[in-house]
Amino acid sequence: MTNSRTLFAKLWDAHVIASLGMGEDLVAIDRVFLHERTGSVALRSLAASGRCVTDPRRIFAVTDHIVDTLPGRTGTLVPGGAAFLEATREETRKAGIHLFDVEDPDQGIVHVISPELAIVLPGATLVCPDSHSCSQGALGALAWGIGSTEAEHAMATGTLRVRRPGTMRVTFSGRLGPGVTAKDMALALIATHGASGGKGHAIEFAGEAVAALDLEGRLTLCNMAAEFGAMTAFVAPDEVIFDYLKGRRYAPRGPAWDAALTAWRLLATDPGATFDREIVMDAHAVAPMMSWGVSPQDSVPIDASIPTPPYTGSSARALDYMALRPGQQLLGTPIDAAFIGSCTNSRLADLRRVAAIVRGRHVANGITAIIVPGSSAVRRAAEAEGIDRIFMDAGFDWRMSGCSLCFYAGGDGFAPGARVISSTNRNFEGRQGPGVRTHIASPETVAASAIAGAIADPRDWPPLPAPGDGKADDRAHAFTAGAEAR
């Protein structure tokens, strides 16, 4: 019998207060993050029940889901949305909860600003009434989405009653090819094993390709675990994460930082530890991916054709909705719009890679192209680097931070029937507006397609050399080499 333990077991057991039987545990919750769509509901319900927030220092809130992202915004475009904003402001003020509101310099999408501010830390538990809270497992934390009622319980007691999930390790062996990203890794995984492939599991992402990802790439990978049906996902903390966190607003400082590092470096799966399920993917075989249907599992390599099995029921409906046919090549399919944003791909690293492709080029005629940074900090950093000018010169709309057109909430959407290529995480029917046909892909693929005016392979769009920019020459060579290798 081995004493080897998985990282999940270490994180979970460190937070178990009591075993309740029938596979359920009472788990300590270190952080609760709220947003205005569900947070105000939870806070008002909590107050109506006569209970209160036990420790407001552990609770944070943000306005991100329904805030207007147009330049010069004043509130929300969502009918009735102002009531959610006002309720969030009123209830967080009464409860003593820190709110990152529209005018706050740290405002942004909850899953973007939590890592930026080091609200989520390795080894912590964090919950939020939002399904993509698993993104924050990229920092070696246990983070997952909950409902409003659970949020009330967590705020009142600092605990939650949770069924212990199974363990799964997804290993990406080898290295990614040029022009292939964490988004492509996630879509390849979901396309291979199905949208419910991770159901009931906490997933540890591991392997050479995962270790080589920057923190932003790991956030993208963990974000998409929600589309794999997983309860949560995480990556073992390492120097990449420690370097990212050091000096950030809520990170430990001085001796506390040194003590934290000592503890965090123990957060790894022991050799010989066993998982309930193991998946191994060849990272080098992953290509830029593109969805063709109305689920992330309906995805194929961008240079492949739509599968040709008999289509019945929901799959037939998906093809009909997307106005596509079996065997059709996606490459070259005309698009109407392009969107780069969301908690999946709106961070500075994403925008830098997009800028490398669009610099010196222009969005195709008739294409609506929009970029929404994930946070006000990302927006400021991009503008300080001049990236915003590259986007606007290329014909993109450059907006304020927020969830924006990741989803249609009645305030902002694309034209009915439009074919949109998007860096978001969901391509459900109507996700970006009534009748809108959404193809999800990496930011690089979205950028290349916006320029081409049709679905395009980012490997065919190397960065253009700029005067005096030797790095651009290097990037161009790398992309070209990748394209030639195919």
Q: What is the pLDDT of residues 405-437, one digit of tens each?
A: 999 866 788 999 999 999 999 999 999 999 999
pLDDT at 482 over 50: no
What's the CATH code of the domain at 435?
3.30.499.10
The span from the CA of 199 to the CA of 321, in Å, is 26
Same domain, 236 and 317: no
Q: Report if residue 239 sits inside a domain.
A: yes
Residue 125 in any domain: the answer is yes
What's the mean pLDDT when you consider all of the chain?
94
Domain range for 119:
7-281
pLDDT value of residue 160 = 98
CB atoms within 10 A of CB 451: 21
> What is the per-residue pLDDT across 355-398, written as a single tens digit (0 to 9) for each?
999 999 999 999 999 999 999 999 999 999 999 999 999 999 99
Does residue 170 have a pLDDT over 80? yes
Does 255 share its domain with 369? no
pTM for this model (two decimals):
0.95
Query: Domain check: are 61 and 201 in the same one?
Result: yes
Look at residue 483 in the predicted model and tell me its pLDDT: 42
In a domain, 350, yes or no: yes
Report yes or no on 40 lying in a domain: yes
For position 212, what pLDDT does the model report? 98
Residue 309's pLDDT band, with cuts at 50, 70 and 90, is confident
Burial letters 344-367, b for 16+ CB under 10 A, else e: bbbbbbbbbbbbbbbbebebbeeb
Q: In this predicted structure, what is the pLDDT of residue 468?
A: 60
Q: Alpha-carbon distance 149 to 117, whole Å?
A: 26
Shared-domain flag, residues 334 and 450: yes
In a domain, 479, yes or no: no
- Domain count for the chain, please give it: 2
Using the predicted structure, report yes or no on whether residue 486 has a pLDDT greater than 50: no
* Mean pLDDT, residues 96-123: 97
Predicted local confidence at residue 470, as pLDDT: 53
Tell me how far apart the alpha carbons of residues 197 and 194 are, in angstroms, rounded to a whole number: 5
Residue 480 has pLDDT above 80, yes or no: no
Could you read off the pLDDT of 40-91 as tens digits, one per residue? 889 999 999 999 999 999 999 999 999 999 998 888 999 899 999 999 999 9
Helix 348-358 × helix 215-223 angle, to 10°: 100
List the one residue out of 341, 304, 329, 302 whose CA is nearest residue 449.
Answer: 302
Q: Evaluate if residue 310 carries a pLDDT over 90.
A: no
* Phi, psi values for residue 414, rounded to 5°: -90, 165
Does any domain span residue 2? no
Instruction: Locate 236 and state its tokens.
Output: 């073992």
Residues 68 and 191 in one domain: yes
Instruction: Band the pLDDT of 220: cuts 50, 70, 90.
Output: very high
pLDDT over 90 at 469, yes or no: no
Quick one: 105 exposed, middle or buried, by C-beta within 10 A (0-12, 13-18, 19+)?
A: exposed
Q: What share of the chain is helix, strand, coil (3-state, %, to 5)?
A: 35, 20, 45
pLDDT score of 445 more than 90: yes
**467 CB-near residues (< 8 Å, 6+ apart):** none
